[in-house]
Structure formats: structure tokens, C-alpha cells
Amino acid sequence: MPRIPLVDLAASYARHRDTIDAAVRAVVEDTRFIQGREVGEFESAFAAFCGTRHAVGVSSGTAAIHLSLAALGVGPGDEVAVPAHTFVATAEPVTWLGARPRFVEVDAGTGGMDPDALKSVIDRVRVVMPVHLYGLPVDLSALGALATAAGVPLVEDAAQAHGAEFVHDDGSVVRAGAYGRIGCFSFYPGKNLGAFGDAGAVTTSDPALADKIRRLADHGRATKYEHLVVGYAARLDTLQAAVLAVKLTTLRASNQRRRELAAAYRSRLDGVGDLVLPVEPANRRGVHHLFVLRTAHRDALLAHLQEAGIGAGVHYPIPLHLQPAYASLGYRPGDLPVTEAWARECLSLPLYPELTDEQLETVVAQVRTYFERV
């Protein structure tokens, strides 16, 4: 166990222990483990938080993406634009549906889907699915304009971005998951809003899509015994909903603390070695799911930090277009050079709401020590 882990789920539980224990006990005693009252209550609260008319609880972030693409009719012969620099779950459901992921180059500064790169493939894709990577919204107005002009839906992979905000030119603010036709969220335990197991949600303001996704997640049911379509078993558990409802009440404050810690890292690490620190464009407010910097010394710095008991990580070392699982798509090293540079140089430092100022100083000191020696 590193002295300072990358994420600290025990600290998170300690902060919420009494309310979570009570909420879990209520579900256990009530025994409505499937579609209990807490599911609908959490869905309403999460939709209100995101600023959408609907939220549908599902079994994971991956399921959220799968059900969303299925509801939009993605199937064999289709292509879906996804960034190459992301977690594999952004692309897997595309493949499950018989469609082909079209891996799009990312922006050198932010790591999000590059609108210029999308432009060159927009005419061939059925859906555009950017990722608000590390909690920073992508350039929604540029990507959204391209999708709108091409007449294809934009689906946001907001698995890392609960509460992140994008500011329009007129000053109005939209939260992650509320801009596109659909937003897909993960409540994997280490995410900004984390369950005690797998869980996820789909957000949308389109009532027909919400109904369709809800039905697909529950065996295609119209009623208890009538199945309109062949669906899936991908509901949100009542127990997870109960935990999530408790943690949602402190999400805003947790995100604020993450922003403070990120600002502290930025000021304390500015100018150290060859570090490139994460940027935040003026029209976006990220929620720092991860604090990811870049350095040509990535592997050596990672080893140094781990040696010092600091749980640094890499998100993600192998870009999707070069994953063995996607070898059949025929991509080669060098095809997406900006993505490949991210994969080579990115390093994630510990960042979670319970990280103390002292712990942050310890991390900073170890990063500085590394660069003093090279």
C-alpha cells in the first residue's frame, strides 16, 4: 500500500460513514434490491444536478455507452467517432454493436477530441462520441457545430466529468452530459461520484430516448411480462443508488476541493523540470478526475514516485488504435502522433477530495527531488 495512494476510497467512506450505513441498511431491510425507491430518487437528483430532464440509472459506464448507441440505432456498417486517447470502454460497445470505432486524433494541449481531426471523418460517422478526459470538458461548441452540420448525434462520454462545466460564448453554462443528445456517466468506485461497485447513468432531455434506454436496460420490457424488444440486463442496483444519493450531496464540494488541489499542484510545479501541466481553457471548468502532467521522463519519474510511496499512475499508456484488441482495424504506430505522444508522456499524480495539503506537499517535494537529480 503506497503511503499516498492515487485514490483513497477508505477516506471517502470515512467521510460519509454514518449516512451511507443508514442508507444501505434501509435498502437491506426493505429488500427491494431491484428497482427500489432509491433508484428513482437518485435518477431525479442526478438529472437535476446535470441539468437534464432525465437520467436513467444503469449497471456501469460501459453499459451507459452501450445502451445509448443501441438506442440511437448504431449497428453493422456504421462508424462511431471516438478519441484514440481514452479508456477502452469508450470504444468497446461500438464493436459489440457490429459497428467500427473511428479513432480520432486528440488536441495536443488538452488531450480531448480534436475538432480539426473530427472534420476529416465527420462525413462517414453515425455518432460523434468525445470524452471529457480527466474531468475537463472537450470543446463542445466546435465539436457540436460539426456534428449538427453533419446531422449526427453527439454522445458525451462524461464518465470522468460529473459536474464539469462548459461556458458558451453568451456566458451560459452547460454541465457535462447536458450538451449532447446523450451523456454517459460511470460511477466506478474511483470516479468523482463513485458507487460501491459497478454503476452508471445515461442523461438526456429527450423523453423518447430516455424511455428507450430504460427499456433496453430492463430486458426490453413494456410491462412485467411483455418484452417489446430484445434488451439487456443492465439496471442500476438499489443498493448502489442509495450509496450514490448520499455521495451526490457532497459532489459539488468534492469537485471544488479537487479544483483547489489542482490549482495548488499547478502553482507548486510550475517551471519544474520539463513538466507540462494540465491546462484549463477559459470557457471550461474541469472537475479534475485526474491530475495529469506530461514529461519526457515519464517512466523514470513514475518509478521514483512509486519508490517513494506515492501512488502515481498512467492514463493511458497504450492508445486505443494500437491496442492488440483493435489490431484488426489496421492502424499503425505513427498514425495518430499527438495521441501517441500523450500515451508516452502522461503521468497522473494523486488527487482526491480527501488528499491533505501536507500530502500534496509531499508529492510536490518528491517530483522536485526527481528533477534535481537529473
Ligand X SMILES: *Cc1c(COP(=O)(O)O)cnc(C)c1O
**Contact flag: residue 179 with ligand X (CB under 6 A):** no
Residue 323 beta carbon to ligand X: minimum distance, rounded to whole angstroms: 14
**Window contacting ligand X (CB under 6 A); options: 82-90, 108-116, 143-151, 238-246:** 82-90
Q: Do the Cβ atoms of 347 and 314 come closer than 8 Å?
A: yes
Q: What part of residues 128-157 is at the interface with ligand X (CB under 6 A)? A: 131, 157
| Pick 97 or 308: Cβ nearer ligand X | 97
60 binds ligand X (CB under 6 A): yes
Count of residues interacting with ligand X (CB under 6 A):
15
* Alpha-carbon gap, residue 158 to 203, rounded angstroms: 10
Task: Let me know: does 287 contact 163? Beta carbons within 8 Å.
Answer: yes
352 binds ligand X per the rule CB under 6 A: no
Q: Please, what is the minimum distance in Å from the beta carbon of residue 371 to ligand X?
A: 29
- Would you tell me how many other CB atoms lie within 10 Å of the CB of residue 365? 13
Query: Which of 5, 144, 153, 200 is close enough to bind ligand X by CB under 6 A?
Result: 200
Please tell me whether residue 186 binds ligand X under the rule CB under 6 A.
yes
Identified binder of ligand X from the candidate list 12, 52, 62, 192, rule CB under 6 A = 62
With respect to ligand X, which residue has the nearer C-beta, 86 or 204?
86
Could you tell me the smallest distance in angstroms from the CB atom of residue 66 to ligand X?
9
Instruction: Find, among 213, 190, 189, the residue nearest to 201 by Cα.
Output: 213
In this structure, the dihedral spanned by the alpha carbons of residues 157, 160, 163 and 168, taken in order and rounded to 10 degrees, is -50
188 is an interface residue for ligand X by CB under 6 A:
yes
- Does the footprint of ligand X cover residue 240 (CB under 6 A)? no
Tell me if 68 contacts ligand X by CB under 6 A.
no
**Is 159 among the residues that bind ligand X (CB under 6 A)?**
yes
Cβ-based neighbour number of residue 200 at 10 Å: 29
Instruction: Tell me whether residue 112 or residue 353 sits nearer to ligand X (CB atom).
Output: 112
Choose among 183, 115, 165, 102: nearest CA to 144. Answer: 115
- Pairing mode, if any, of strands 173-175 and 284-285? unpaired
Considering the complex, state which of residue 111 and residue 359 has its C-beta at the smaller distance from ligand X.
111
Distance CA 34, CA 32 (A): 6
Cell numbers at 44, concatenated: 431525479
Which one among 86, 204, 238, 240 touches ligand X, defined by CB under 6 A? 86
How big is the chain by its Cα radius of gyration, in Å?
Answer: 20
Residue from 12, 68, 110, 160 that binds ligand X (CB under 6 A)? 160
Site track 88-117 with ligand X (rule: CB under 6 A), x = hit: -xx---------------------------
Omega before residue 316 within 30° of 0, cis: yes
Choose between 4 and 199: whose C-beta lies nearer to ligand X: 199
Minimum distance, C-beta of residue 144 to ligand X, in the bound complex (Å): 19
The helix-helix angle for 37-50 and 9-30 (nearest 10°) equals 140
Q: Around 93, how many Cα atoms within 13 Å sit in the side-chain half-sphere?
A: 26
Q: Which helix (H) or strand (E) holds 124?
A: none
Indicate the angle between helix axes 9-30 and 238-248, nearest 10 degrees: 130
Q: How far is the CB of 186 from ligand X (least distance, A)?
A: 3
* Binding of residue 345 to ligand X (CB under 6 A): no
What is the smallest separation between the CB atom of 67 and ligand X, expressed in angstroms? 12
Minimum CB distance to ligand X, residue 86 (Å): 5
Across the strands, what pairs with 101? Answer: 80
Strand order in the sheet with 100-104: 100-104, 79-83, 127-128
Four-CA torsion 248, 253, 257, 262, nearest 10 degrees: 70
Q: Which stretch binds ligand X (CB under 6 A): 8-16, 66-74, 85-93, 108-116?
A: 85-93
Task: Tell me which residue of 374, 367, 339 sits closest to 114, measured CA to CA.
Answer: 339
Among 5, 61, 135, 180, binds ligand X (CB under 6 A): 61
- In terms of CB distance, is 138 or 305 closer to ligand X? 138
Residues that bind ligand X (CB under 6 A): 60-62, 86-87, 89-90, 131, 157, 159-160, 186, 188, 198, 200
